[in-house]
Amino acid sequence: MAKRDVAEQVLDALGGKQNVKANDICMTRLRILTEQPDLVDMKKLRSIRGVLGTVRRGPNGVEIVFGPGSINEVSNDIVQLTGIQPSYSAFRGSSSAPEDSISVQINGHAPIPKAVRAAVAAKKPLASTRVESTANAEDDNEDDIDELASLLEATGAAGTKRLLVVNGPNINMLGVREPKIYGRKTYADLVRLCRKAAREAGFAECRCFQSNHEGDLVDVVQAAYGEFDGIVINPAAYTHTSIALLDALKSVAIPTIEVHISKVDEREDFRQTSYVRAACFETIVGMGLEGYRKAIKDMAQYLSEHDEDEKD
Ligand code: CA2
């Protein structure tokens, strides 16, 4: 079955795309906030090929666990079909916040069915392996799902490195104006490019975040501490003004690459200053959106070299 079909079936089981208020992904889970939770058919969701388990989180949240091979594509398709970009902040403060699951522990509560456990441990494809023991239930036990996701992540079946891509003010306006400087591609195109590049570079997760507000950018960098292995950042105009963002990047000390779409070095004088550069090990300018692809590849390379250093 094509991944697109999977996304269409997921939306159907969620009560249609109009019932999706927000979405986000982490390494193995698709997170959905619904408008009307009673429209969600959990049984239908759980019968979709590739779905390993489901759980309701909070009054409006649903989490759907996929095998590592399919989560990114299904998520991309959900984004295309709904027109809603993955949003980290939409889940903040709700009981289905990404933080909940990123920090989940294998706590030894409800056991994972043996077949799933064995497939994960053997790093076998999981598309046809389902949580059979709970197939008739309304949804899976939360502990069971957390353990399943943790197991998938801990065994490296989903890769291990997590990438955060941060974009600053007006990047959401890409493709709308000034095509001579910033090109014709939109922010949605940029998110797609980053997710694909990250998948190809072997990242387990690629989360894209954009805000027009300096404090939000500081918050997301701080929240990345202990959660993400690398940051690719285009702080846009805050590049040239924000000591707060520089301090945030320094405080988390996560390897960071600075990207600029345009040739900032050939533009106005005020664009020649970059405060964040002091916290970045590489800066890429003037390559258009392709600069993000290079940054993601270079980050993967840097992280693999850094891991090897640790082994020596
Ligand atoms: O070249 C870059 O990537 C920049 O970071 C982009 C920023 C600018 O302030 C920096 O100096 C260089 C601007 C973000 C996008 O702004 C738009 C303005 C009009 C139409 C579309 C995007």
Q: Is 260 a catalytic residue?
A: yes
Facing residues of 165 across strands?
208, 232
- What local confidence, expressed as pLDDT, does residue 123 receive? 52
Note whether 298 and 257 are within 8 A (CB): yes
Are residue 104 and residue 176 in the same domain, yes or no?
no
Residue 182 sits in the same domain as residue 263: yes
Q: What are phi and psi of 173, to 5 degrees?
A: -95, 5
Given the residues 187, 260, 275, 292, the one annotated as active site: 260
pLDDT 10s digits, 181-237: 898 899 999 999 999 999 999 999 999 999 999 999 999 999 999 999 999 999 999
Q: Show the domain range for 265.
A: 160-311
Q: Which helix (H) or strand (E) holds 243?
A: helix 243-252
Q: What DSSP letter does each residue of 75-140 carry, written as one string?
A: HHHHHHHH---B-SGGGTTSTT-HHHHHT----S-SPPPHHHHHHHHTT---TT---GGGTTSSS-
Verify that 7 and 72 share a domain, yes or no.
yes
Cα(259) to centroid(ligand 1), Å: 11
Ligand 1 lined by 182 (C-beta under 6 Å) = yes
Output the domain CATH number for residue 55. Answer: 3.30.1360.60
Predicted local confidence at residue 53, as pLDDT: 82
Helix (H, G, I), strand (E, B) or coil at 235: coil
Ligand 1 centroid – CA 299 distance (Å): 22
pLDDT given for residue 170 in this prediction: 93
Final residue belonging to a domain, choices 102, 127, 154: 154
Is 209's C-beta closer than 6 angstroms to any atom of ligand 1? no
Helix (H) or strand (E) holding 197: helix 187-200
Looking at the structure, do residues 180 and 148 belong to the same domain, yes or no? no
Is the CB of residue 233 below 6 angstroms from any atom belonging to ligand 1?
no
Say if residue 237 is in the same domain as residue 178. yes
Question: Which residues of the chain fall below pLDDT 50?
Answer: 95-113, 125-136, 157, 311-312
Domain stops at, among 127, 154, 181 = 154
Contact 127, 50 (CB under 8 A): yes
Q: Are residues 5 and 140 in the same domain?
A: yes
With CA atoms as reference, report the closest residue to 295 among 198, 154, 150. 198
CATH number at residue 192: 3.40.50.9100
Q: Are 77 and 125 within one domain? A: yes
Say what the pLDDT of residue 154 is: 57
Q: Residue 174: what residue type?
A: L
216 is written with which tokens?
A: 């939000």
**Ligand 1 contact via 190 beta carbon (within 6 Å):** no
Q: Tell me, yes or no, whether 48 and 110 share the same domain.
A: yes
Q: What is the dihedral of CA 16, 19, 23, 27, to 10 degrees?
A: -50
Residue 119 to residue 136: CA distance in whole angstroms: 21
Whether residue 147 is found in the same domain as residue 176: no
User: Does residue 271's CB lie within 6 angstroms of at least one atom of ligand 1?
Assistant: yes
Based on the structure, what is the number of domains in the chain? Answer: 2
Same domain, 181 and 52: no
pLDDT at 2: 67
Q: Phi and psi dihedrals of 197, rounded to 5? A: -60, -40
Question: Which of 154, 170, 185 is the C-terminal boundary of a domain?
Answer: 154
182, 301: one domain: yes
- The question of whether 306 is a catalytic residue gets the answer no
**Residue 242 structure tokens:** 């924000």
Residue 16 shares a structural domain with residue 113 = yes
pLDDT of residue 119: 57
Q: Which residue has the tokens 């986000």?
A: 24
Catalytic residue among 182, 187, 275, 292: 182
